[in-house]
Structure 1
Amino acid sequence: MTYQFTIIVPVYNEEENLERVESELLKYLKIATVSTSILFVNDGSSDNSQALIEAICERNDAFEYILFKENRGLSAAIKAGFDHVDSELVGYIDSDLQTAPEDFNILLEHINSYELVTGVRSNRKDSFVKNMSSKIANGIRRAFTHDGMDDTGCPLKVIRTDYAKRIPMFRGLHRFLPAMIMLQHGRVTQITVQHFPRMAGTAKFGVWNRLLGPLMDCFAYLWMKKKYINYEVAKSSKQKL
């Protein structure tokens, strides 16, 4: 079957969440506004996540997976997903399900007018420290990128796949997806989505990941922006078969 939309689900030691992930994504597939498949990207989990993922994919035709040999980080997992999919649209959601798969339909309503539609988490159900560090990090990032985005850390996005595949990902660049789409002269917008407390498992990001790490990544982004190659072919002698 050919799918229009692929949802990437990065996984790192989320065995406590995966059965709920399966249940919620199956519910979403029944109400999805476009034909949708699911791609788990197991980022070298050391728990029982892979066995659960394989069982989920075995019993659900619309689910498949990629397994890394070792842990490489969230940006690598997202990049691998972008490289793997062949659907017209691609998105991703965290396996902690602090955002709702059903909200993909809200983002998809706007994708015809944009190259990337990203969620903005409303009434966030996180700790004070996590919320404040995220606000500060977003402020620093906006000062560097001028992307106008309020919440690039929101793990709910829909992107045109041809644009996603041209993003030169590096570690930490998942925070800069809107800015990297804008470097391609793509249009971006943000839409309010739901947010929920983590129900199981443990968070993979601390203050360093949310604050000091992103500050360092901003300098990497500036280097990338200076060196980024962007072009459009006006005419070609090559004909399609």
Structure 2
Amino acid sequence: MQTSTNQTGQYTFTIIVPVYNEEDNIARLEEKLSNYLPQSLYKTCVLFVNDGSTDDSGSRIHQMCDRHPGFFYIEMKRNGGLSAALKAGFDYCFSEYVGYMDADMQTDADDFNLLLPGLANCEFVTGIRANRKDSFFKNLQSKIANGYRRMMTGDGVSDTGCPLKVMYTDYAKRIPMFKGMHRFLPALILLQNGNVQQIPVRHYQRIAGKSKYHLWNRLTGPFIDCFAYRWMKKRYINYHIVASNLH
């Protein structure tokens, strides 16, 4: 974990983009994000997290970052999954705000401008995928998983799987990340006494690459993880320093 600041500290908002074998989407990511940055509500950079890709994603990310001064990357030694990639992104981010989007291009970076104003009143703002373009079976799995998670966590979030979120970086860094915990980000912010807001965002069909999710990690994995969250919720330490003479 990087403890000293890096170039992201020169920006107000950092977009983390976890990437695992998405070579066919890199060019579209570059076009969308490079067009969004000048339109962002804040001075914004992008941090790509190459999560051990075995295709040409890594070299294409390097080339893309060479072309754009606001594009940065870190590379994982091996594939660790979305929660590991997000933790690495949070650890290496030093802007005031941080958000993330998937590399599958099923959400639109422009919609960050719908979420960011919410940070004036909340510590965490998540998108809700309006008019989802996934298959009936995939939507059904998601609906079941979201309903069960809401019942177990009480987070009140209707679509925790939406890959478009923004939050305060200091809250993100305090999230206890384990495998599968990316599904519980709103609940983990609530543990810190933060406030959560939900806003509808656009959703598109995947036109390149392949989904990394299947029945196990949409339903069975989250079912087990809910019990881990409930164990954690009872034991979570939340403290606030009111005075210090440290310099």
CA distance in 2 between partners of 1:111 and 1:228 (Å): 24
Match of 1:32 in 2: 40
Once the 2 structures are TM-superposed, how far is the Cα of residue 234 of structure 1 from its aligned partner? 1.7
Q: Structure 1: any 5+ residue segments left out of the alignment?
A: none
| Aligned counterparts, 1:75-224, within 5 A | 75-224=83-232
Once the 2 structures are TM-superposed, how far is the Cα of residue 223 of structure 1 from its aligned partner? 1.6
CA distance in 2 between partners of 1:49 and 1:86 (Å): 25
CA distance in 2 between partners of 1:62 and 1:234 (Å): 36
Task: Give the counterpart letter for 2:52 in structure 1.
Answer: G
* Structure 2 counterpart SS, 1:110: helix
TM-score (norm 2): 0.95
| Aligned counterparts, 1:222-233, within 5 A | 222-233=230-241
RMSD: 0.8
Give the stretch that moved more between structures: 225-234 or 181-190.
Answer: 225-234
* Structure 2 counterpart SS, 1:8: strand
Task: Give the counterpart letter for 2:11 in structure 1.
Answer: Y
Task: Give the counterpart letter for 2:102 in structure 1.
Answer: D
Match of 1:66 in 2: 74
CA distance in 2 between partners of 1:237 and 1:109 (Å): 35
Once the 2 structures are TM-superposed, how far is the Cα of residue 237 of structure 1 from its aligned partner? 2.3
Residues 27-67 of structure 1 show CA distances to partners (whole Å, capped at 9, x for unaligned) of 11121110000000011000000000000011111001111
* Structure 1 counterpart SS, 2:23: coil
* Structure 1 counterpart SS, 2:41: coil
* Structure 2 counterpart SS, 1:225: helix
* Structure 2 counterpart SS, 1:45: coil
Identical positions, percent: 59
Once the 2 structures are TM-superposed, how far is the Cα of residue 122 of structure 1 from its aligned partner? 0.3
Residues 176-233 of structure 1 show CA distances to partners (whole Å, capped at 9, x for unaligned) of 0000000000010100000000010000001111111110110111121122111011
CA distance in 1 between partners of 2:112 and 2:34 (Å): 13
Residues 146-171 of structure 1 show CA distances to partners (whole Å, capped at 9, x for unaligned) of 00000000000001000000001000
CA distance in 1 between partners of 2:168 and 2:220 (Å): 30
* Structure 2 counterpart SS, 1:17: helix
Q: Structure 2: any 5+ residue segments left out of the alignment?
A: 1-6
Match of 1:16 in 2: 24
CA distance in 1 between partners of 2:73 and 2:228 (Å): 30
Task: Give the counterpart letter for 2:103 in structure 1.
Answer: S
Match of 1:236 in 2: 244
CA distance in 1 between partners of 2:216 and 2:71 (Å): 33
TM-score (norm 1): 0.98
Task: Give the counterpart letter for 1:84 in structure 2.
Answer: Y
CA distance in 2 between partners of 1:104 and 1:81 (Å): 17
